[in-house]
Amino acid sequence: MARIPQLPHEAERLQALYDLNILDTPAEERFDAITLKAQQEFKCKTVLISLITENKQWFKSRQGLDKRETPRNISFCTYAIAEEQYLIVPDARADFRFRNNKLVIGEPFIRSYAGVILYSEDGYELGTFCLLHDEVRQYSDQDINRIKHYARIVEQELRLSDNYGAR
């Protein structure tokens, strides 16, 4: 697997993430309702709200995946947050960044990935709203716009958190 990208403003990005005070909190129905609706709409195996720390990706909500987190160095989402708005990988086996990733060659056998960046109020990349599937999949411009819409709803919910800004 290729070396993971590092953002030039990583310290500020991490501070914005930690300011949410949401990492490692219990599941919440308001987030689970969003991921469940997207899973049904897109008929995909897995939908995640993924937040990227310095060494892991942690899932605030997950449909179709038992794990609560994975190491950052195998995360598709760490590549997505280095993009301008989103990352689409129609076939992970054909992408040099992911073809040898243990999540591609083993469980959950990720083949396609579509992730839209979740931003803090100050514009820092917190993580992604993402769809994963065990089959090759193309995403149209309309699909991408719908995924972006879900991401904006998640951002609003993150800002409504009772813990936001508390230290």
pLDDT digits (tens, 9 = 90+) for 118-130: 999 999 999 999 9
For CA atoms 56, 57, 59, 62, the dihedral sign is negative
Q: Above 90 in pLDDT, residue 111?
A: yes
Q: Above 60 in pLDDT, residue 88?
A: yes
Instruction: Read off the pLDDT of each residue in 59-74 and give the average, rounded to a whole number.
Output: 96
User: Alpha-carbon distance 10 to 8, whole Å?
Assistant: 6
Structural domains in the chain plus CATH codes: 10-159 (3.30.450.40)
User: Alpha-carbon distance 56 to 41, whole Å?
Assistant: 28
pTM of the model: 0.93
Write down the pLDDT at residue 167.
39
Mean residue pLDDT of the chain comes to 93
Which parts of the chain are beta strand (E)? 46-52, 56-63, 69-71, 86-89, 112-119, 125-133
Q: Above 70 in pLDDT, residue 2?
A: no
131-158 tens-digit pLDDT: 999 999 999 999 999 999 999 999 999 9
Q: Above 50 in pLDDT, residue 66?
A: yes
